[in-house]
Amino acid sequence: MQTNENHYLLEITQPEAEEILRRSQTVIIPTGSVEQHGPHLPCGTDHYAIMVISRKVAAGLDALLLPFSHSGVTHFHASFPGTITLRQETYVSLLMDTASSMIRHGAKRIVFVNWHEGNTPAINYAAAQLQQEYEVRCVVAQACYIAAQLYKDEAELTHAGALEALPVLAYKPEFVKLERATNPSPYEAAKEFDELRRSRAVYPLLADIRQIAPTGWYGDLSNVSEEKAGELVERVSTEVVNSVSSIFKRLD
């Protein structure tokens, strides 16, 4: 496991990237979003969260971490200025083109590490298409759900709540302005609808975040700290590495 090596394509040379691909044949595609996260977190929250986690995942898997779109599929936040949303077909094309570029250079395993739920249908479709068109294995790691599972007794997965503030705090503390978080939406109503739309049985499609959170965010920030931020990134990335490694072992 090459834990001390930089695996991010934008920051290494071509021979270094080629060597990582030769060793592991594995690439990481980090997927997030640019959308409003209340008055206290940056619009790039999902991007920063997935990047700080993906750097550790790439090191743990000895995989090449690829640069990818900051933006994602997030129509339900579009009513707030500052949100950028891509069409699903655009996002699928970006995923396919990015992955196929690496497949040409020897990649055999593609790992999508995701923090934004709205990206999931496009990621799943692109992964299925890649496996149809190429001799490649794809795995999707939903880092936001892993965080929710690991911290289910301490925090819930809410929009712009603690589980989203923590990875940004780990990435760059000055981006987090908790003192501005003075207008949360009503918690129970937002939580009830969020749980309903995440159901695997019967669920509605969210048209606008304002339907559940009029101010754009809800959640509890009382347990946010720099110590907890570092712990979350470490625990989530370790879980992704262990789970992905186990799946590839079964598939190979």
What pLDDT, in 10s, does the model give residues 38-58? 999 999 999 999 999 999 999
Estimate the crossing angle of helix 162-171 against helix 226-251, to 10 degrees: 90
**Domain contains 3:** no
**Domain contains 1:** no
**Domain contains 214:** yes
**Domain contains 51:** yes
**Domain contains 41:** yes
- Percent of the chain residues topping a pLDDT of 70: 99
* Domain CATH number, residue 79: 3.40.50.10310
pLDDT-derived band of residue 4, with 50, 70 and 90 as boundaries? confident
The tokens for 246 are 């186990």
Parallel, antiparallel, or unpaired: how do β-strands 26-31 and 64-65 relate? Answer: parallel
Fill in the DSSP letter of residue 118.
Answer: G
Give the 3-state secondary structure of residue 217. Answer: coil
Query: Average pLDDT in the 142-148 region?
Result: 98
Which residues fall within 8 angstroms of residue 65, CB to CB, at 6 or more apart?
Answer: 7, 8, 9, 27, 28, 30, 54, 55, 57, 58
Residue 159 pLDDT > 50, yes or no? Answer: yes
The number of folded domains in the chain is 1
pLDDT digits (tens, 9 = 90+) for 202-238: 999 989 999 999 999 999 999 999 999 999 999 999 9
Instruction: Classify the phi-psi angles of 87: left when phi > 0, otherwise alpha if psi is within -120 to 50, otherwise beta.
Output: beta
The tokens for 1 are 């496991």
In Å, how far are 57, 117, 128, 140 from 243, measured between CA atoms?
Answer: 11, 19, 19, 10
Structural domain boundaries enclosing 18: 9-251
The tokens for 188 are 């129970």
Residue 2, pLDDT score? 44
H-run or E-run covering 113: strand 109-114
Residue 1, pLDDT score? 40
Query: Average pLDDT in the 173-190 region?
Result: 96
Residue 188 CA to residue 95 CA, distance in Å, equals 36
Residue 3, pLDDT score? 55
In Å, how far are 91, 117, 137, 185 from 106, measured between CA atoms?
Answer: 23, 29, 12, 48
Residue 129 CA to residue 88 CA, distance in Å, equals 14
**Domain contains 201:** yes
Query: Average pLDDT in the 8-27 region?
Result: 98
Residue 176 pLDDT > 50, yes or no? Answer: yes
Give the 3-state secondary structure of residue 182. Answer: coil
**Domain contains 4:** no
**Domain contains 2:** no
